[in-house]
Amino acid sequence: MLLRFWKMHGLGNDFMVIDLVTQRARIPSQKISQWANRNTGIGFDQLLLVEPPSHPDMDFRYRIFNADGSEVENCGNGARCFARFVVDNHLTTKRDIRVETAGGPMTLHLADDQRVRVDMGPPRLTPDEIPFVAEVEATQYEVDVDGERVSLSAVSMGNPHAVVLVDSVDHAPVATLGPKLEAHERFPNRVNVGFLEVVSTHKARLRVFERGVGETRACGTGACAAAVAGIQQGLLESPVDITLPGGTLTLEWDGHQQSVIMTGPAERVFEGRIPL
């Protein structure tokens, strides 16, 4: 069969998006890394599947697979593209769209200025929820990386994030420390690694070495986790504009049990068909 898909991106974090509501197909896991290949495939950071919901109070099921084929709990930039996809493909007439993910429920709102506002749910901060190996919950942890002591925050947005404060993202050790932390033994499910530079109380810069991908142009859940870590440490105040290499997201968070609200763009690049 020929499978219809859209290529989309959120601030350069790019996706293959497949409608499995009007198309019936099972995607073999080995196809994901083949399609993700930027030389011999379509090329993307994540594959997003749009599926019918399994809960009556949800509009869709939203599944996310990294370029390495691993299925993950959440993708913030992908959530914005998901909203644009289902509205532009007339899969819903709603503008507040409830989706179920492996990391929990979210509400996506397509705003009039073409930006998308996502209620990402509350951050999860206890070590067990992240998961992260630690005796007690803290805003900062010390982790040994090849004999080097690294201070980091650990936050889950459904998916796990480590946030490392740096003086400048331009000189951050993304390519060296990123992969070491991604696979660190204290993160049993591996982890996304954010490098956060605080510019002012309402502005920051961020680069993210994503679990299962490597450094991306932007990471929505990473921006959420960085905002939470900065606010918890009194370095940032809500709302926070976080600028990543691909552009800027706006994050709002009023404290522990509250949802993190993320607002940003979602773009369609092209439509395609691929043999399956």
Ligand X SMILES: N[C@H](CCC[C@H](N)C(=O)O)C(=O)O
Feature table: binding site for substrate: 13, 46, 66, 76-77, 159, 192, 210-211, 220-221
Is 159 an interacting residue with respect to ligand X (CB under 6 A)? yes
CA distance linking residue 132 with residue 140, whole number of Å: 12
Residue labelled with tokens 């179920």: 100
User: Is residue 28 packed enough to be buried (19+ CB in 10 Å), middle (13-18) or exposed (0-12)?
Assistant: exposed
219 catalytic? Reply is yes
Which residue in 5, 18, 42, 77 binds ligand X (CB under 6 A)? Answer: 77
Q: Is 232 in the site for ligand X (CB under 6 A)?
A: no
User: Min. distance of Cβ 11 from ligand X in angstroms?
Assistant: 9
Phi, psi of 188 (to 5 degrees): -60, -25
Whole-number Cα distances in Å, 118 to 82, 95, 112, 216, 262:
11, 11, 14, 20, 5
Binder among 210, 236, 261, 263 for ligand X (CB under 6 A): 210
Residue 181: strand, helix, or coil: helix
For 259, which DSSP code? Answer: P
Q: Is 220 in the site for ligand X (CB under 6 A)?
A: yes
Q: Out of 213, 229, 242, 251, which residue is the one contacting ligand X (CB under 6 A)? A: 213
Known binding site: residues?
A: 13, 46, 66, 76-77, 159, 192, 210-211, 220-221
Look up 75 and say whether it is catalytic: yes
The token pair at 162 is: 């480590």
| Residue tagged active-site, from 8, 75, 152, 266 | 75
The residues of the shown chain that bind ligand X, judged by CB under 6 A, are 13, 45-46, 64, 66, 72, 75-78, 159, 192, 210-213, 216, 219-222
